[in-house]
Amino acid sequence: MIDMEAKKTIEAGKAILGIEFGSTRIKAVLIDEDNKPIAQGAFEWENQLVDGLWTYGIDLIWKGLQDCYIDLRRDVLQQYGCEIESLAAIGFSAMMHGYMAFNEKQEILVPFRTWRNTNTGKAAAELSKLFNYNIPLRWSISHLYQCILDGEKHVPSIKYLTTLAGYVHWQLTGQFVLGVGDASGMIPVDPATKTYDTEMVRKFDELIAPKGFPWKLLDILPKSLSAGENAGCLTPEGAKLLDVSGHLKAGVPLCPPEGDAGTGMVATNAVKQRTGNVSAGTSSFSMIVLEKPLSKPYEPIDLVTTPDGSLVAMVHCNNCTSDINAWVGLFKEYQQMLGVPVDMGEIYKKLFNKALEGDADCGGLMAYNYVSGEPVTGLAEGRPLFVRSATDKFNLANLMRAQLYGAIGVLKIGNDILLKEENVKVDRITGHGGYFKTAGAGQRVLAAALNSPISVMETAGEGGAWGIALLAGYLINNKGKSLADYLEEDVFAGNTGTSVVPSAEDVAGFERYIENYKKCLPIEQAAVECK
């Protein structure tokens, strides 16, 4: 039966669209006036390792966006029998950071370098010292300075430097802007001004002045905007780029483009101080909104901002569920070999639940999920690795539990600094992403890792595409409310989801596991050096 209210919303042009470019999927979510998803679209993609650097091709970015929108249109036609002719608002989000540099003709100068690359160690270390502020490897300023250190020929020709979300928004609206949360992953942002830190910009310009480039840093960076600010409208050319069928009309307002960290905070109602969220999928990161600055810089902790400019402590891990997926693929292959019908959702559910039957310390088994390098633990490259001794308790439950623990091991190491050394107080942590898809399993493991109750909302599976749709809705419906109040009152209406409290046994078991994990890191390093 057709949902007539949703159909009317779409036909009246009152639906709101959010699109997020994730690591393995581009996802579109269409929401109604009550912020509920009413249609979806998706496009699967993978990054490529080209000349030693992780990238996505420009042509694939646009094919992915267009095919994702085609999939959304198909869903709308199937469900409601109508076309999307107009929208109330649009928002774009993408994986944060990385490096997209363009010349004055808006031509990309080198292939898009994603957050996954770890070739910027020298630049990040020098900038961290210069700024007295932790500058991560994946931030745009690290990539830019590394290009300068390496003498890359394209640097003098840079006219525009942005992120993936900023690039897509720019091409569809003509506005070279960026949401403050995503901007804070280019070079640090001052929470008081909600734009790039003036003193750090000055220091960087002085540092590179002897090179004689024809630009200064602020000349090439997008303008930083807070949630709710006008970020332009869909141009006629942009409408054709997005909807190749030609049905979508121009003129739709767009919210500031944001990074996936910001949309994760929005999607979990975690933009207030003393709230936090953990996003766990292909990569993982935690975001804790701080009451005050940290006492000193920490290499594993990035300081970014919420989409409305509040200071956030972020622990970012390059790897999370990819190695779990590889192991599950083996079980799938085994089932196929036996001629047993394969239901991937059921395989994940059974294996995740089996993990909960394992020993609290995984029986001594150890898993490193390092498909790529992990800056938090000092690994420039990664090798997925499973380690056990002859005396460890090797069974299916412990194997899968070790995989679930290993997926968030680095996340725990970073958060132990915040929660144990800095005594950061958190009232609520909410999880979202594929790691939490099996009810209770990932939630219980993360609760043990952080020794904190973990909430998961029914909407957690909607992820960042829903989060950026909510920010697009905030642009046109905020009525002067702060972003935190808008989310609390208009979107979530007090809903905090279902919570899992850690058991003392699980907490103690994870502590034993993580101590062993840290002791065994030289094995992972040796694997990188030898294979």
Please report the DSSP string for 184-234 in residue order.
Answer: TTTS-EETTTTEE-HHHHHHHHHHHGGG--S--HHHHSPEEE-TTS---B-
pLDDT of residue 116: 84
- 105 falls within a domain: no
Q: Report strand pairing: 498-500 vs 454-456.
A: antiparallel
Residues 421 and 489 in one domain: yes
pLDDT of residue 463: 76
Cβ neighbors of 471 (< 8 A, separation 6 or more) are 18, 91, 179, 227, 255, 256, 258, 262, 263, 266, 307
Residues 403 and 427 in one domain: no
pLDDT of residue 407: 97
Residues 469 and 419 in one domain: yes
pLDDT of residue 375: 83
Q: Report strand pairing: 428-432 vs 195-196.
A: unpaired
Q: pLDDT by residue for the chain (531 residues), tens digit each?
A: 788 899 999 999 999 999 999 988 999 999 999 999 999 999 999 999 999 999 999 999 999 999 999 999 999 999 999 999 999 999 999 998 899 999 999 999 999 999 889 899 999 999 999 999 999 999 999 999 999 999 999 999 999 999 999 999 999 999 999 999 999 999 999 999 999 999 999 999 999 999 999 999 999 999 999 999 999 999 999 999 999 999 999 999 999 999 988 998 999 999 999 999 998 888 888 999 999 999 999 988 999 999 999 999 999 898 999 999 999 999 999 999 999 998 999 999 999 999 999 999 999 999 999 998 998 898 989 999 999 999 999 999 999 999 999 999 999 999 999 999 999 999 889 998 889 988 899 999 999 999 999 999 876 556 789 999 999 999 999 999 999 999 999 999 877 788 999 999 999 999 999 999 999 999 999 999 997
**∠ CA 182-144-100 to the nearest 5 degrees?**
55
The CA distance from 117 to 86, in Å, is 38
The domain that contains 415 carries what CATH number?
A: 3.30.420.40
Nearest to 123 by CA among 111, 113, 110, 112: 113
- 391 falls within a domain: yes
- 363 falls within a domain: yes
The CA distance from 380 to 385, in Å, is 15
Residues 417 and 311 in one domain: yes
Q: Contact 220/141 with Cβ under 8 angstroms?
A: no
Residues 387 and 345 in one domain: yes
Residues 353 and 383 in one domain: yes
pLDDT of residue 461: 56
pLDDT of residue 135: 95
What are the backbone angles phi and psi of residue 294, rounded to the nearest 5°?
Answer: -70, 160
Q: How many CA atoms lie within 13 A of 255 on its CB side?
A: 37
Q: What is the DSSP letter of 445?
A: H
- 102 falls within a domain: no
pLDDT of residue 281: 85
- 521 falls within a domain: yes
- 168 falls within a domain: no
Residues 289 and 337 in one domain: no
pLDDT of residue 459: 63
Beta bridge pairs of residue 374: 379
Residues 289 and 361 in one domain: no
The total of structural domains in the chain comes to: 2
Could you identify the residue written with the tokens 């509920």?
36
User: Which structural domain, as residue segments, surrounds residue 313?
Assistant: 268-320+411-504
Calculated CA dihedral for residues 178, 183, 186, 190, nearest 10 degrees: 150
Sign of CA dihedral 429, 434, 440, 443: negative
pLDDT of residue 57: 96
Residues 418 and 498 in one domain: yes
**Per-residue tokens: 215:** 């630009």
Instruction: Collapse the DSSP code of 7 into the 3-class scheme (helix H, G, I; strand E, B; otherwise coil) and give the result.
Output: helix
The CA distance from 95 to 464, in Å, is 10
Cβ-based burial of 101 (10 A; exposed 0-12, middle 13-18, buried ≥19): buried
Residues 288 and 436 in one domain: yes
Residues 312 and 375 in one domain: no
Q: Contact 231/170 with Cβ under 8 angstroms?
A: no
- 458 falls within a domain: yes
The CA distance from 286 to 158, in Å, is 33
- 386 falls within a domain: yes
Residues 372 and 422 in one domain: no
Q: Contact 283/317 with Cβ under 8 angstroms?
A: yes
